């Protein structure tokens, strides 16, 4: 089960090839994932995190086949979310007095979820250390809101490994464990999707925390996150990417997202795309039907984009529920420094563009003045208005 990471540090997690969704059904998983737990065997034996509840019995049995569970001196809980802590109840049933090192907020999280206030919690904060023998220490770094208030990272001196928990991870199954063994196209696509859909709301904190970590002047040879590939080849490349992504990231791309009832709004969406491509051939254009596309993949493209256009027909004096739900998610992700345009067809009352404009503004986007509000099906004159939208988004 255990697989060597470096010297006396081992991976003891779970590669989950069958995982299809995460956070309930809120995050789509296309290439599997992993729950990475780590075992350190110096003079002291340390377990860093566990795995998700469905794999708890398998995890504890596998761990017991590798070591005497009673030999575990310390457990580090970098984060209380159940994909990292789900096996703790089964493990603590076997070794109930083992100390658990975590933040104060993690104590609240773990007790609130598992109802074991008697566990031997040891609260740590940034800069606290734990000697593990052979001249090595664990150094704790609080990372609140990356992405829960209880999150922290753990740095191991001597081997220079940063156990970063959710930061720098991906929902991506890599049987070979390491970034230099992974398909680089899939690795970077999944890393960006993870950041865009989970960490982007906390981007100001990401930048601040990276500055703080770099100021500690730690030598980092390996970054070992809790999901996906372990960064051992040029590990700081993902840190630099996070720094870039945290600063209102955008590229020369415009994404068009819409839903339709009788295809009129579809025609407008594609005409806007055509006009953007005609006016700016180098600008990448992506078009998605919200109801038929994967919302996380669409949001990743929004993350890349400098502007978006969102369309819906009017229904029930408002917009389609598919678009409304998508806009709620957009609001949650707190994208910055992006323009937006609105469009849609209507038969009788025509409120959709007004609703879209209000919700996009509330989500923090700069909504341009030109819009297409089409009564019934668009004709050539209506479609010609797509040029004004394209020009405003490209300006």
Which residues form the catalytic set?
23, 79, 81, 83, 147, 166, 194, 227
Q: Which residues of 46-77 are buried (b: 16+ CB within 10 A; e: fewer)?
A: bbbbbbbbbbbeebbebbeeebeeeebbbbbb
Beta carbons of 104 and 129 less than 8 angstroms apart: no
Cβ-contact 195, 203 below 8 angstroms: no
Rounded CA separation 395/390 (Å): 9
CA distance 157 to 7: 12
Please name the residues in contact with 268: beta carbons below 8 A apart, sequence gap of 6 or more.
Answer: 258, 311, 343, 344, 345, 372, 374, 378, 382, 383, 386
Rounded CA separation 343/275 (Å): 14
**Helix pair angle (184-194, 236-245), 10° resolution:** 40
Give the list of residues 6+ apart from residue 208 with CB closer than 8 angstroms, or none.
none
322 sits in which H/E element:
helix 321-333
Residue written as token pair 């999280």: 109
Pair type for strands 161-165 and 222-225? parallel
- 357 close to 371: Cβ distance less than 8 angstroms: yes
| Secondary-structure breakdown of the chain: helix, strand, coil percentages, each rounded to the nearest 5 | 35, 25, 40
Measure Cα distances from 99 to 122, 170, 382 in Å: 6, 29, 68
Helix (H, G, I), strand (E, B) or coil at 33: strand
Closest CA to 374 of 386, 387, 362, 388: 386
Most distant pair of Cα atoms in the chain: their distance: 78
8 Å CB contact between 295 and 244: no
DSSP state of 316: T
């Amino acid at each position: 089960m255990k697989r060597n990471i470096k010297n006396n540090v081992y991976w003891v997690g779970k590669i989950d090839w069958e995982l299809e969704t995460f956070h309930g059904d809120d995050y789509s998983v296309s290439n599997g994932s992993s729950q990475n737990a780590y075992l350190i065997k110096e003079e002291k034996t340390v377990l860093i995190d566990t795995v998700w509840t469905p794999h708890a019995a398998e995890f504890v049995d596998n761990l017991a086949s590798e070591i005497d569970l009673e030999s575990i001196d310390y457990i580090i809980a970098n984060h209380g979310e159940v994909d990292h802590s789900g096996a703790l109840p089964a493990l603590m049933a076997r070794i109930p007095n083992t100390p658990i090192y975590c933040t104060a907020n993690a104590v609240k999280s773990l007790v609130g979820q598992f109802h074991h206030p008697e566990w031997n919690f040891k609260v740590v904060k940034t800069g606290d250390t734990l000697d593990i023998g052979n001249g090595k220490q664990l150094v704790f770094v609080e990372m609140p809101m990356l992405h829960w208030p209880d999150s922290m990272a753990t740095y191991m001196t001597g081997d220079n490994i940063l156990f970063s928990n959710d930061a720098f991870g991906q929902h991506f199954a890599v049987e070979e464990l390491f970034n230099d063994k992974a398909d680089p196209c899939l690795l970077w696509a999944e890393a960006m999707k993870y950041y865009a859909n989970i960490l982007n709301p906390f981007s100001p904190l990401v930048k601040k925390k990276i500055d703080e970590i770099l100021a500690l002047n730690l030598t980092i040879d390996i970054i070992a996150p809790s999901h996906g590939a372990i960064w051992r080849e040029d590990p700081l490349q993902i840190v630099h990417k996070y720094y870039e992504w945290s600063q209102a990231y955008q590229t020369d791309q415009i994404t068009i997202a819409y839903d339709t009832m009788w295809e009129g709004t579809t025609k407008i969406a594609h005409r806007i795309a055509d006009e953007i491509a005609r006016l700016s051939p180098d600008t990448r254009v992506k078009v998605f039907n919200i109801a038929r596309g994967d919302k996380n993949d669409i949001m990743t493209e929004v993350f890349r984009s400098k502007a978006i256009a969102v369309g819906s027909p009017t229904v029930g004096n408002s917009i389609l529920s598919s678009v409304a739900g998508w806009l709620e998610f957009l609001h949650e992700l707190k994208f910055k420094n992006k323009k937006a345009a609105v469009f849609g067809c209507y038969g009788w009352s025509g409120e959709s563009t007004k609703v879209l404009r209000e919700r996009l503004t509330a989500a923090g986007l700069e909504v341009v003045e030109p819009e297409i509000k089409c009564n019934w099906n668009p004709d050539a004159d209506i479609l010609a208005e797509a040029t004004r939208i394209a020009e405003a988004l490209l300006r």
